[in-house]
Amino acid sequence: MKTFIVQGGRVLLLVVWLNVVPVLNSCPAKCVCYSEPRPTVACQQQGLFTIPTEIPVRSQRIFLQINKLTVVRSTSFSSCHNLTVLWLYSNNITHIEAGAFYGLERLEELDIGDNNNLRIISPSAFRGLTKLHTLHLHRCGLSELPVGVFRGLFSLQYLYLQDNNLLTLHDDTFLDQANLTYLFLYNNKIKVVTDHMLRGLINLDRLLLHQNRVNLVHQRAFSDLGKLTTLFLFYNNLTVLTGETMDPLVSLQYLRLNGNQWICDCRARTLWDWFKRFKGSSSELECHLPVTLAGKDLKRLKSNDLEGCVDAPSQVQTSIFSTKTHSGTFLSTDDPLGESIPRCCLSDNDKSSIFSSKVLPDSSLYNSRQITNNPLKEKENISKTKFREMERTKNDTRNKQSLNDGPLGTLSNNLDQSLGNLDPELLDNLEPSTAPNKKKKKCSKKPKSDTQCLKGHGSTIRVLSLLFFPTFWFSLTMS
């Protein structure tokens, strides 16, 4: 009896083993599977419309990029509890079911970027991904992020949100991201940076907010960014930025504020004072107003250049903020300061040339690629932060870095000598920090004050009166 039980147990074990082994070693059709250096399922560029169901449960990396996937279901990866890297970029994903990534507690990198029709993310889409350190959501057509969408992502270090249609970000969106170091928000439609929008980002190193529509940065917007080294705010709608706003940025090394229409009067004094203390590298801040300072760099002005505040009729303001930008959109007509702008004491014909703003260069001059991604993709140790750039080919995954994404990729070639100490590999990709210089049209003569205008007008009346009265008495005598 005991012998029968033992033999029966062995037979049962053999049956189980024969059924389990094929499952562990199976590989989905149109995919390539390999176990070294880590169990990987590579199904990129195979024209797949659905996620394969027979993915080995021991898989640690799954590559499904550049296919035709439309939906990520809650059961798609439910058995892949060892998964650390998941690439779903460059598909046609329009919907991610609730719980699609539930149970992937070991996931470190998730790339669902370049899915133009995704547009909406569930508030609970990333819940439970406590070890996730890299998240790609670039070019997904997102116009809004739901409240709490990044809640619980305590390990997140790299967040890519560029090339979307984001109009604003909720306060405390990043409250749980104390470890975030790179935040890419460029090429969106954000108008205001509020006091609490960036709250909690105490370890942020690089903030890229260029090519938005920012016209106002609240005074305490950067309060938590004491470790920030790189800030890009170029090509926005800024006219004024206070020194008090910049004061918390004690670690800042690289700053780009070009491509804005700066008002260089008394309102710029605190920023001018801040630049006197700033030891890092910066692009030019080209003055737009007053016209006597147009085209000059705010940082190089003298103290007496910033005396007084310019003033002008409100209708002139529209002509400045309606100038077409490089991206084909129009700058905001909102005046964040409620202040008016100057005029020259000239004829109306002359004034029309004063307020004509130059068109910004095409974005191709400073943005050299189409898809922005993370350079960490092909590295075996994903926690490392050394960057490299790879060329996208059919047999390779794709380019995971661009000039705009590099740690210093969009910095100026004309920045201070401190850049000379950087890694030569980073310096190779530097771009000009400002648009090509063009001379601005100015008043045909030095603008007159209102007092001078009145004096000139009064003197003309006196001359006319001196000529009129003798002529009048002479005509009476002759009659």
Mapping DSSP onto H, E and C, the string for 54-122 reads CCCCCCCEEECCCCCCCEECCCCCCCCCCCCEEECCCCCCCEECCCCCCCCCCCCEEECCCCCCCCCCC
Please tell me the distance from the alpha carbon of residue 146 to that of residue 123, in angstroms, as a whole number: 5
**What's the one-letter identity of residue 124?**
S
User: Residue 344 corresponds to which tokens in the numbers above?
Assistant: 């020259």
**Residue of 154, 221, 151, 152 whose CA lies nearest to 185:** 221
Q: What per-residue confidence (pLDDT) applies to 311? A: 67
Percent of the chain's residues with pLDDT above 90? 55
CA–CA separation, 269 vs 285, rounded Å? 13
- Would you state the pLDDT for residue 307? 84
Whole-angstrom distance, CA of residue 332 vs CA of residue 238: 10
The DSSP code for 415 is: S
Q: How much is the pLDDT for 26?
A: 84
- Determine how many CB atoms are found less than 10 A away from the CB of residue 16: 10
Point out the residues of the chain with pLDDT beneath 50: 1-2, 6, 11, 13-24, 312-461, 463-464, 479
Return the structure tokens found at 55.
């993915």
All residues at 6 or more sequence positions from 217 whose CB lies less than 8 Å from its CB, including other chains:
192, 193, 233, 238, 241, 245
CA angle 467, 468, 472 (to 5 degrees): 125
The CA-atom distances, in angstroms, between 34 and each of 41, 43, 465, 475 are: 7, 12, 101, 113
Q: Both tokens of residue 200?
A: 């909690």
Rounded to 5 degrees, φ, ψ at 68 are -125, 35
What does the mean pLDDT of the chain come to?
73
The pLDDT of residue 279 is: 94
| Rounded Cα distance, 179 and 33, in Å | 34
Between the CA of residue 314 and those of 31, 266, 318, what are the distances in Å? 64, 19, 8
Q: pLDDT tens for residues 288-311? A: 999 999 999 999 999 988 888 876
